[in-house]
Amino acid sequence: AQSVTQLDSQVPVFEEAPVELRCNYSSSVSVYLFWYVQYPNQGLQLLLKYLSGSTLVESINGFEAEFNKSQTSFHLRKPSVHISDTAEYFCAVSADNQGGKLIFGQGTELSVKP
């Protein structure tokens, strides 16, 4: 079975500072990794995903994540955050033998302050 651990429940940062949201997973099979973002009172939206190929994946709004198989990590980074990035971020994992089931981490609340 797969599992996901997000190491920080809350990450407060100042605007224009860099940020890293940590995600570690465990699995006995090959996995596919996702970051979803949830803005207040909204549903989740896919931010980026790793399926195969290049281990560095990017989103259209400046976030990136790197799949590190040896460290079983998929940390999310942004070099300079904006107030509008304030949201809950969820790391998720799925695998070939799970019938499409996404396993989510506990979420990390990113709070960007001016």
Partner 1 sequence: DTAVSQTPKYLVTQMGNDKSIKCEQNLGHDTMYWYKQDSKKFLKIMFSYNNKELIINETVPNRFSPKSPDKAHLNLHINSLELGDSAVYFCASSWTSGITGELFFGEGSRLTVL
Please report, as ranges, the residues that interact with partner 1 according to CB under 8 A: 32, 36, 38, 41-46, 49, 51, 88, 90, 94-96, 98-104, 106-107
CB of 14 to partner 1, least distance (A): 23
d(CA 49, CA 30): 14
CB of 16 to partner 1, least distance (A): 27
Closer of 16 and 58 to partner 1 (Cβ): 58
CB of 63 to partner 1, least distance (A): 16
Closer of 61 and 80 to partner 1 (Cβ): 61
Quickly list DSSP for the chain.
--EEEES-SEEEEETT--EEE-EEEE-SS-EEEEEEEE-TTS-EEEEEEE-SS-SEEE-TTS-EEEEETTTTEEEEEESS--GGG-EEEEEEEEEGGGTTPPEE---EEEEEE-
Closer of 33 and 112 to partner 1 (Cβ): 33
Closer of 49 and 77 to partner 1 (Cβ): 49
